[in-house]
Chains A and B, each alone.
Chain A
Amino acid sequence: MLLEIHDVTVAYQGPPVVREVGLRLEIGRIGCLLGPSGCGKTTLLRAIAGFEPLQTGEILLRGRSVSRPGFSLSPERRRVGMVFQDLALFPHLNVADNIAFGLRGHDRGRRRLRVRELLSLIGLEHAAASFPHQLSGGQQQRVALARAMAPRPDLLLLDEPFSSLDGEMREKLAREVRQILRQECLTALLVTHDQFEAFAMADEIGVMHAGRLHQWGSAYDLYRRPADRFVADFIGRGVMLPGTVVDERRVETELGLIKGRVPAAALPGSRVEVLIRPDDIVHDDESSNRAEVIAKVFRGAEFLYTLRLPSGAEVLCLAPSHHDHDHEPGERIGIRLGAREWSFSAPHPNGLLESCGEATRQNILAGAKSIIVFT
């Protein structure tokens, strides 16, 4: 295990910014901390780099304890590279010297070789003698990456590395960076608020909110098996549809029976909510389930419909845009649930209590038959 974080809490003055976070990252993997701004993800990253002391918990790199309360191995001795949000390129050094900055221990020949290797990796051989302010945003970004990778750190941290770039450039660079990290066999941890960036870059993603790590898993898991309501809301789009547990294999909803393994906590007859993603609902003119079109957005490959069910609940539906007939708001169209095996996740009890409303919390504490189930 390359990076292990146990119960880490970081506080400046006042309430903790990072609360009891734990995660592990294996060698060669690319991890990502994803969350809205102010959720503590950057602070956690800085703690791993050695810039923030811990209140509780421990951080281990290659099994060696580098941070714990009262002890912090200095940043220059951690073998952790970092790409900063503002890049922090040295304005008085040219590109080659920026990249060579962390290579002081090496002899001249090896240093030059490594710089040349990295310059070709980031495709900037021609710009070796340029100064940072002469480069474009994307080029500066790649120089910052090369500089951090040059000493071959055990772990590379990237703090919102693409935030200064615009949409298309961002995705292109994210793909490039992933390839570069793979080529160098680097373990990396990325921080971002953009889930598509996270999906494009990372093998494992952690969703953070208000200092807590809500879930750590693959992009697919976050989307299909969110651990709690915050993750369900934050990742992708979707709607909570009320339902009733029939037995341990089935939940009855307005759109029909949903089949899957229901968590043991949800007893037959209890009221639950089921997370319905836009791609779970299929537009089918044959279906007897009818819903009224409220809004329609053209998104290129598909239409995104907002539909109102007879009960008044609203759901989203993705329909292919080459579908031969358009439906306008006010029309009633046929829909059905996509045929698949639904897997209900058993929500983490704490996560559940945290994320649901006060009324639900009281109900759960009182043992009432009302519980939220996510799919």
Chain B
Amino acid sequence: MEALADFGTVQYFGVGTFTTGIFRTWFGLGDSGAAAQLASLMMAFVLALIVLERRSRRRARYHHTSRRYRTLPGYPLRGQPAAGAFAACFLPLFFGFLLPSGQLAFWALRTWRHTLDGAFLELARNSLLLAAGAALLALGPALFMAYGKRLRSSPAVAAAVRVAGMGYAVPGLVIALGVVIPFAWLDNALDAWARSRFGLSTGLLLSGTVTALLFAYVVRFLAVSLNTVEASLGKVRPSMDDAARSLGLRPGAVLGRVHLPIMRGSLLTALLLVFVDVLKELPATLVLRPFNFNTLAVRAFELASDEMLAESSLAALAIVLAGILPVILLSRSIRRVRQGGAHVA
């Protein structure tokens, strides 16, 4: 799914895929109708994949047989087997991370004197603000839906929540198209209304500003936020609500004194995950960004497309470093959960 949705890499290497095809039809030929048709086709394909995956998994449900994590026995290895095991673990890390980011760091060191300037800082600021804004925006509906499911659980609600979380499987370019067409129509309608009523033009109020971009981010990354929030809300058992009530708390105070402290860490995780995903996002940003508004990812892509790889390295490295942060944080929190695996059965 990720590979299907990828845009930056295939575009750079000049491979013709569905996503680059949509992009070319839209901006090369200027035919947004045909692009929308292609996007619909791709969307149908993605949906079919999701349905297929669900069906194949329906019969097999994987459960933990025990609530406690056991510490696995260690097998001390020596000599050749030890070297083999080390290599098996090290090679993916080396080729997948150390080598490329080492290359980036090397280039960045050589070029930072003229790439690290005011323009770069503005890129970083744009990226940070967008990512933080989208992360906060996505948390709202995620909380709303998770609580909706907890308080008024019905098949309809569950289905609606599942559909809302499907954006993650849809390629960013498809979402961008899906956002830009109705937003442009709305803008035009608004503009026409304002002209006839007040005699002034509102211009592109939605589709020309970060509003459309933020909206697309929320559509695309809501699932990330939602999954994290749902999992953490699951830790607050309904009997805890009842216990707090019978100990003298009003419903509102239960949220503040029980739900919030238990969920706080997970809410931060949800913010962080969306933040990093937005930071990395390219195709939707490329299409929906306002005029003269760039982000780190867009700039890195543009420079790379112009064969200025060394110059693009600083922006790329910044994204990589920002992306490592949640990996470290998450693996630490997961380890903590496992150690305290004996959470009340």
Query: Which A residues contact B (CB, under 8 angstroms)?
Result: 46, 49-51, 74-76, 78, 80-82, 84-92, 101-102, 104-105, 131-134, 140, 147-148, 151, 164
Residues of A within 8 A of B250 (CB): 74, 76
A101 & B247 in contact (Cβ 8 Å cutoff):
yes
B237 & A86 in contact (Cβ 8 Å cutoff):
yes
Residues of B within 8 A of A140 (CB): 344
- Asked whether any CB of chain A lies closer than 8 Å to the CB of B240, the reply is yes
B262 & A75 in contact (Cβ 8 Å cutoff):
no
Min Cβ gap A136→B in Å is 10
B235 & A151 in contact (Cβ 8 Å cutoff):
no
- Asked whether any CB of chain A lies closer than 8 Å to the CB of B345, the reply is yes
Min Cβ gap B22→A in Å is 47
B246 & A86 in contact (Cβ 8 Å cutoff):
no
Give the distance in Å from the alpha carbon of A105 to the alpha carbon of B342 in the complex: 32
Interface centre among A51, A87, A92, A131 (most CB of B within 10 A): A92
CB-nearest residue of chain A to B345: A164
Give the distance in Å from the alpha carbon of A331 to the alpha carbon of B328 in the complex: 76
Nearest 8 pairs of A and B residues by beta carbon? A102-B247, A88-B239, A88-B243, A75-B245, A84-B239, A92-B261, A82-B246, A88-B240
B249 & A76 in contact (Cβ 8 Å cutoff):
yes
- Asked whether any CB of chain A lies closer than 8 Å to the CB of B248, the reply is yes
Give the distance in Å from the alpha carbon of A133 to the alpha carbon of B249 in the complex: 24
Min Cβ gap B8→A in Å is 42
- Apart from the given pairs A74-B245, A90-B258, A131-B340, 14 other A-B contacts in the complex at a CB distance below 8 Å: A51-B245, A76-B246, A76-B247, A80-B246, A81-B246, A86-B237, A87-B344, A89-B344, A90-B240, A91-B235, A101-B244, A133-B343, A134-B340, A148-B246
Residues of B within 8 A of A101 (CB): 244, 247
Interface centre among B235, B239, B243 (most CB of A within 10 A): B243
Residues of A within 8 A of B262 (CB): 90-92
Interface centre among A74, A91, A131, A134 (most CB of B within 10 A): A91
B343 & A91 in contact (Cβ 8 Å cutoff):
yes
Min Cβ gap B232→A in Å is 12
- Bits for B214-239, please: 1 = Cβ < 8 Å to A, else 0: 00000000000000000000010101
A82 & B243 in contact (Cβ 8 Å cutoff):
yes
Residues of B within 8 A of A75 (CB): 242, 245-246
CB-nearest residue of chain A to B244: A101
CB-nearest residue of chain A to B243: A88
Instruction: Identify which of A92, A104, A133 contacts B248 (C-beta below 8 A).
Output: A104
Asked whether A133 and B245 contact (CB < 8 A) given A86-B237, A90-B258, the answer is: no
Min Cβ gap A110→B in Å is 15
CB-nearest residue of chain A to B235: A91
Give the distance in Å from the alpha carbon of A165 to the alpha carbon of B179 in the complex: 56
Residues of B within 8 A of A133 (CB): 340, 342-344
Asked whether A91 and B246 contact (CB < 8 A) given A86-B237, A86-B239, the answer is: no
Give the distance in Å from the alpha carbon of A258 to the alpha carbon of B303 in the complex: 105
Residues of A within 8 A of B340 (CB): 131, 133-134
B235 & A76 in contact (Cβ 8 Å cutoff):
no
Residues of A within 8 A of B237 (CB): 86, 88
A-B pair count, CB < 8 Å, reads 74
Residues of B within 8 A of A78 (CB): 246
- Bits for B237-271, please: 1 = Cβ < 8 Å to A, else 0: 10110111111111000000010011000000000
CB proximity to A under 8 Å, residues B246-305:
246-250, 258, 261-262
B344 & A49 in contact (Cβ 8 Å cutoff):
no
Give the distance in Å from the alpha carbon of A46 to the alpha carbon of B243 in the complex: 11
Min Cβ gap A155→B in Å is 11
Give the distance in Å from the alpha carbon of A49 to the alpha carbon of B239 in the complex: 12
Interface centre among B237, B248, B250, B261 (most CB of A within 10 A): B248
Residues of A within 8 A of B249 (CB): 76
Asked whether A76 and B239 contact (CB < 8 A) given A87-B344, A89-B344, A133-B343, the answer is: no
Min Cβ gap B7→A in Å is 42
Residues of B within 8 A of A164 (CB): 345
Residues of B within 8 A of A49 (CB): 242, 246
Give the distance in Å from the alpha carbon of A139 to the alpha carbon of B145 in the complex: 37
Residues of A within 8 A of B240 (CB): 88, 90
Give the distance in Å from the alpha carbon of A51 to the alpha carbon of B242 in the complex: 8
Give the distance in Å from the alpha carbon of A131 to the alpha carbon of B342 in the complex: 11
Residues of A within 8 A of B243 (CB): 82, 84, 88, 90, 147
Residues of B within 8 A of A134 (CB): 340, 342
Interface centre among B245, B258, B340, B345 (most CB of A within 10 A): B245
Residues of A within 8 A of B342 (CB): 133-134
CB-nearest residue of chain A to B260: A92
Give the distance in Å from the alpha carbon of A89 to the alpha carbon of B345 in the complex: 11
21 A-B residue pairs with Cβ-Cβ distance under 8 Å, sorted by A, are: A46-B242, A49-B242, A49-B246, A74-B245, A75-B242, A81-B247, A82-B242, A84-B239, A84-B242, A87-B344, A88-B237, A88-B243, A90-B240, A90-B243, A92-B261, A101-B244, A102-B248, A133-B343, A134-B342, A140-B344, A151-B247
Asked whether A88 and B248 contact (CB < 8 A) given A133-B340, A140-B344, A164-B345, the answer is: no
Give the distance in Å from the alpha carbon of A251 to the alpha carbon of B161 in the complex: 69
Min Cβ gap A88→B in Å is 4
A86 & B344 in contact (Cβ 8 Å cutoff):
yes
CB proximity to A under 8 Å, residues B121-170:
none
Min Cβ gap B233→A in Å is 14
Min Cβ gap A3→B in Å is 15
Give the distance in Å from the alpha carbon of A134 to the alpha carbon of B247 in the complex: 23
Give the distance in Å from the alpha carbon of A75 to the alpha carbon of B249 in the complex: 9
CB-nearest residue of chain B to A159: B239
Interface centre among B242, B250, B344 (most CB of A within 10 A): B344
Give the distance in Å from the alpha carbon of A33 to the alpha carbon of B246 in the complex: 20
Interface centre among A74, A102, A134 (most CB of B within 10 A): A102
CB-nearest residue of chain B to A92: B261
Min Cβ gap A81→B in Å is 6
B242 & A88 in contact (Cβ 8 Å cutoff):
yes
Residues of A within 8 A of B247 (CB): 76, 81, 101-102, 147-148, 151
Residues of B within 8 A of A76 (CB): 245-250
CB proximity to A under 8 Å, residues B303-345:
340, 342-345
Min Cβ gap A122→B in Å is 17
